[in-house]
Amino acid sequence: MQFGVFSVSDITRDPVSGETPSEAERIDGILKIAVKAEEVGLDVFAIGEHHNPPFFSSSPTTLLSHIAALTERLIVTTATTLITTNDPVRIAEEYAMLQHLSKGRMDLMLGRGNTAPVYPWFGQDIRQGLPLALEHYNLLHRLWREDVVDWEGEFRTPLQGFTSTPRPLDDVPPFVWHGSIRTPEIAEQAAFYGNGYFANHIFWPTSHSKRLVDFYRQRFEHYGHGTRKQAIVGLGGHAYIAKRSQDAVSEFRPYFNEAPVYGHGPSLEEFTRGTPLSVGSPQEVIDKTLTFHDAFGDYQRQMFLIDHAGMPLKMVLNQLDLLGEEVVPVLRKELAARRDPESADAPTHAARVKAKYGDAPARQPRPNANRGDNVTGASPYQDSDAAAEYPEI
């Protein structure tokens, strides 16, 4: 089981102090949050992708590469990589490079995002959002598994004899999560390819997310990737922790009331009762999180949102201390005791390399001699024929 934190990279006015951090302050702060996450024993840090104010994370791979350089164990990933408006060729290249720079300590979550104007900004039509997501990943999947790709689709120019570089580290593609709040077609796509499915599980009742997770598990088994228990599931969550539950409620209330996604609707108490939001003492957060296992069964990754709505950096770092020292160790122990031995382990690069090669050395692609034109003819790699002997991962 992997535990981590994610940020949507918002830059929001602190409703208590009245101050709004600068972009530079927020970017510096997110680096401190990621490093702190590793220091307190968490496994994963994720950042979203946005291309408009008040967000700063327009280049997730640049940010995550720097975080990987600052850490030693932390898995870096995305809270959303926009599969709809990014060119899948650029996703293939940029995330393979991140995979190399992080020495495999990365994966990514694909999604459609929630900012409608981003589609025309990048030359796409929001009415085609779902077909874009499906077609773009179909191409991305091939670019990471085939040395030379011929491809033609509806939403980008054709490819003839194209090789995406660098090739994935050890010729093992990054692990992919497909994230969705409400779309069964995305759960279907995740199941078809045997990839992970990530349910945001923040704004909606658990019963809503459970329907999609159950559907994904059913289809994962249908496509022959394993049993339903072996499907790979991740969940989002949102927690605010204090030593005493009364303090947690009083401290978090002003941020909840003014949050762009929460505020001016149901009360904090109503939202906490009706959604996965957890506000309270460490034990209350533990108890609420364990109800996720009651609903979903074994799952592989739990992510918490802890830094949005204008919360100052000092408060976020304190949350990480409480999460890493008092909440996650208990959750690890409790969930390990409940774990079905048939359930899948959380995905890692090392495990995926082992699954592909066993005890044999991993493939290290080496280009043929430079002719000045390596874009025509046969594969540009010396061992393309031998590479086909390994199972697809």
Domain limits at 242? 2-357
pLDDT of 344 over the 80 cut: yes
What average pLDDT does this structure show over 288-292? Answer: 97
pLDDT of 188 over the 80 cut: yes
**380 falls in which pLDDT band (50, 70, 90)?**
confident
Which residue bears the tokens 């940020």? Answer: 7
173: cis peptide before it, omega within 30°?
A: no
CA atoms of 338 and 182, how far apart (whole Å): 28
Segment 25-45, tens digit of pLDDT: 999 999 999 999 999 999 999
* % of residues, the chain, pLDDT over 90: 85
What average pLDDT does this structure show over 378-382? Answer: 77
Pairing of strands 149-151, 108-111: unpaired
C-alpha neighbours within 13 Å on the C-beta side of residue 19? 9
pLDDT of 233 over the 90 cut: yes
Q: Are 233 and 340 in contact (CB under 8 A)?
A: no
Asked if residue 171 belongs to a domain, the reply is yes
Which 3 state secondary structure label does DSSP give 368? coil
Asked if residue 206 belongs to a domain, the reply is yes
What average pLDDT does this structure show over 345-374? Answer: 88
**Would you mind telling me the total number of residues written for the chain in this entry?**
393
Predicted confidence at residue 382, as pLDDT, reads 83
The region that residue 156 occupies, defined by phi over 0 for left and psi between -120 and 50 for alpha, beta otherwise, is beta
Q: Are 153 and 88 in contact (CB under 8 A)?
A: no
Asked if residue 378 belongs to a domain, the reply is no
CA atoms of 68 and 46, how far apart (whole Å): 12
What average pLDDT does this structure show over 192-200? Answer: 96
Helices within 259-327 (DSSP H only): 268-274, 282-296, 313-322
The CATH number linked to 219 is 3.20.20.30
Segment 291-339, tens digit of pLDDT: 999 999 999 999 999 898 999 999 999 999 999 999 999 999 999 999 9
pLDDT of 237 over the 70 cut: yes
CA atoms of 186 and 183, how far apart (whole Å): 6
Provide the 8-state DSSP code for 211: H
Find the largest Cα–Cα distance for the chain: 70
What average pLDDT does this structure show over 125-153? Answer: 94
Torsion over CA: 211, 215, 221, 226 (sign): negative
Predicted confidence at residue 113, as pLDDT, reads 77
Segment 147-164, tens digit of pLDDT: 999 999 999 999 999 999
Asked if residue 207 belongs to a domain, the reply is yes
Asked if residue 59 belongs to a domain, the reply is yes
CB atoms within 10 A of CB 122: 13
pLDDT of 267 over the 60 cut: yes
- Which of residues 114 and 215 earns the better pLDDT score? 215
Count the domains in the chain.
1
The region of weakest confidence among 83-92, 96-105, 270-279, 364-373 is 364-373
CA atoms of 18 and 36, how far apart (whole Å): 26
Predicted confidence at residue 371, as pLDDT, reads 59
Asked if residue 208 belongs to a domain, the reply is yes
Q: Which among 302, 298, 304 has a CA at the least distance from the CA of 335?
A: 298
What average pLDDT does this structure show over 363-383? Answer: 73
Asked if residue 119 belongs to a domain, the reply is yes
CA atoms of 56 and 45, how far apart (whole Å): 16
Burial grade of 63 (CB within 10 A; 0-12, 13-18, 19 or more)? buried
Asked if residue 58 belongs to a domain, the reply is yes
Q: Are 66 and 103 in contact (CB under 8 A)?
A: no
Q: Are 308 and 8 in contact (CB under 8 A)?
A: yes
pLDDT of 372 over the 80 cut: no
